[in-house]
């Protein structure tokens, strides 16, 4: 059995916790202030997204400060009775064995429904009278159910650590596990986790365990898979969406911009909505979205963007009334984008050749690419000897010759003659 790295390489001391330096300092200062007597706020409320080190900070601090660490989880404070059962713990700073005590009430988000309201109320009671530091943790401290409780707490926000900090933690694991890892492979894993240290460590273990060396090539393919799967999920949520809200939420999930997403939807709707009436409705919605896109372009009034989003997501989702959601139809990359990007590369090439012509003929590169380039193409396709002279005179690069000649074979013939 392999050990789980998030447990195995969990920070034991505060200086091993990466990121959130200010928050950790604030927290440590507050705990220290208890030495001088009960502070105004008897509880600290740490909050922030998952996997960034909230729980581990409290554990590491208790370790550094040699405190008795008492941890309670959601199941311990569902009801008023349950909370009261451990209330006594918080009524003493010094523990039986002479050390100081710190009480952690973790994962408060777990409290839901009216049955738990008593729990929060009882918890507030404990916090008001606590004789030792009480720490509360939740992802969202601004949940209305904590509004009273919050008043008695020192609020400390934990943010997602930047990539460089996540990498620091991964590097420490590399050293301990004696794995040699390419810097950009680590960076890739760290970036992908978007500040969630727990998932970065889990990904890293999945990819690196049992290896002596991890290269960028070993990990980079994941990015491609992520992006593709993500856009497919988004498309599925829109085309097969059952509610307007769900379809609109899908737009927020997409990590492509609105125009690109529009192309994806436009490309894939016809293959998926097999019922013609559904398809008409969906195309109608898309055409309305497109009208607003046009208005944004011409007026720069970005307020219209909400209509674009509504029509292309909710509008498309509501169009499906007869088509069944069962079958599996693959999603296609938008053809229009493929065409545009090809023509973009082509425009760039024409301009490059235009610049070469400009130098010799003293006309603008754009004009050269429009007026002279077409003749060059005819010459390069049909008269290799003349092409050789021109290619030398204009100092054309091989890729330009290939573009003008149209085929690799003809281009080779010309370059060979150039020698």
The closest of 305, 254, 246, 316 to 281, measured between CA atoms, is: 316
Please count the residues of this chain forming the interface with ligand ATP, following the rule CB under 6 A.
Answer: 21
Residue nearer to ligand ATP on the CB measure, 196 or 278: 196
Among 23, 42, 53, 152, binds ligand ATP (CB under 6 A): 53
Residue nearer to ligand ATP on the CB measure, 6 or 269: 6
By CB under 6 A, is residue 139 in contact with ligand ATP? Answer: yes
In the β-sheet with 100-105, what is the strand arrangement from edge to edge? 67-72, 100-105, 134-138, 43-47, 153-157
- For residue 137, what are the CA distances in angstroms to 13, 43, 338? 19, 10, 48
The closest of 182, 229, 228 to 208, measured between CA atoms, is: 182
Which residues have CB under 8 Å from 260's CB, separation 6+?
A: 334, 337
Tokens of 290: 């497109």
Smallest gap, in angstroms, from Cβ of residue 51 to Mg ion? 8
Reduced to 3 states, what is the DSSP secondary structure of residue 9?
coil
Contact of 245 with 278, CB cutoff 8 Å = no
Which residues have CB under 8 Å from 287's CB, separation 6+?
A: none
Among 14, 43, 56, 376, binds ligand ATP (CB under 6 A): 56
Nearest residue to the partner Mg ion, using Cβ? 55
Residue nearer to ligand ATP on the CB measure, 47 or 188: 47
Q: Virtual CA dihedral for 132, 138, 140, 141, nearest 10 degrees?
A: -10
Chain centroid, CA 56 distance in Å: 23
Smallest gap, in angstroms, from Cβ of residue 141 to ligand ATP? 12
Among 29, 50, 227, 343, binds ligand ATP (CB under 6 A): 50
Residue nearer to Mg ion on the CB measure, 11 or 315: 11
Q: Binding string to Mg ion for residues 14 to 53, with x set by CB under 5 A, is what?
A: ----------------------------------------
- The site partner of 50 among Mg ion, ligand ATP, none (C-beta below 5 to 8 Å per kind) is ligand ATP
Smallest gap, in angstroms, from Cβ of residue 59 to ligand ATP? 8
- The site partner of 56 among Mg ion, ligand ATP, none (C-beta below 5 to 8 Å per kind) is ligand ATP
Smallest gap, in angstroms, from Cβ of residue 198 to Mg ion? 9
Contact of 247 with 317, CB cutoff 8 Å = yes
Which residues have CB under 8 Å from 169's CB, separation 6+?
A: 9, 16, 18, 197, 200, 201
By CB under 6 A, is residue 315 in contact with ligand ATP? Answer: no
For binding to ligand ATP (CB under 6 A), which residues are involved? 6, 9-11, 17-19, 50-56, 107, 139, 161, 169, 197-198, 201
């Amino acid at each position: 059995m392999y050990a789980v790295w998030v447990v195995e390489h969990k920070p034991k001391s505060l200086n091993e916790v990466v990121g959130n330096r200010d928050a950790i300092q604030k927290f440590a200062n507050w705990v220290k202030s208890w030495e001088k007597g009960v502070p105004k706020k008897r509880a600290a409320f740490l909050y922030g997204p998952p996997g960034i080190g909230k729980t581990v900070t409290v554990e590491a601090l208790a370790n550094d400060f040699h405190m008795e660490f008492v941890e309670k989880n959601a199941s311990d404070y569902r009801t008023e009775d349950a909370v009261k059962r451990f209330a006594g713990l918080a009524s003493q700073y010094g523990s039986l064995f002479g050390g100081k005590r710190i009480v952690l009430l973790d994962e408060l988000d777990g409290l839901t429904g009216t049955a738990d309201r008593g729990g929060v109320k009882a918890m507030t009671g404990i916090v008001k009278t606590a004789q030792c530091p009480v720490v509360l943790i939740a992802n969202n401290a601004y949940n209305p159910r904590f509004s009273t409780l919050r008043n008695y707490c020192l609020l400390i926000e934990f943010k997602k650590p930047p990539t460089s900090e996540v990498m620091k933690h991964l590097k420490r694991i590399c050293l301990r596990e004696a794995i040699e890892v390419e810097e950009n492979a680590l960076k890739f894993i760290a970036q992908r986790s978007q500040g969630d240290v727990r998932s970065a460590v889990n990904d890293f273990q999945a990819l690196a365990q049992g290896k002596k060396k991890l290269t960028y090539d070993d990990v980079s393919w994941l990015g491609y898979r992520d992006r593709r799967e993500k856009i497919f999920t988004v498309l599925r949520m829109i085309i097969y969406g059952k509610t307007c809200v769900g379809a609109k939420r899908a737009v927020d999930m997409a990590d492509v911009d609105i125009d690109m997403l529009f192309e994806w939807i436009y490309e894939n709707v016809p293959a998926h909505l097999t019922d013609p009436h559904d398809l008409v409705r969906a195309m109608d919605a898309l055409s309305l979205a497109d009208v607003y896109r046009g208005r944004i372009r011409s007026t720069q009034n970005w307020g219209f963007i909400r209509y674009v989003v509504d029509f292309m997501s909710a509008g498309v989702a509501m169009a499906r009334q007869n088509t069944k959601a069962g079958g599996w139809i693959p999603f296609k990359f938008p053809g229009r984008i493929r065409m545009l990007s090809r023509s973009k590369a082509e425009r760039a090439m024409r301009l490059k050749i235009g610049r070469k012509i400009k130098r010799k003929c003293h006309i603008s590169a754009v004009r050269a690419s429009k007026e002279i380039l077409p003749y060059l193409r005819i010459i390069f396709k049909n008269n290799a000897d003349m092409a050789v002279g021109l290619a030398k005179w204009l100092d054309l690069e091989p890729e330009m010759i290939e573009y003008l000649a149209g085929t690799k074979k003809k281009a080779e013939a010309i370059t060979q003659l150039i020698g």
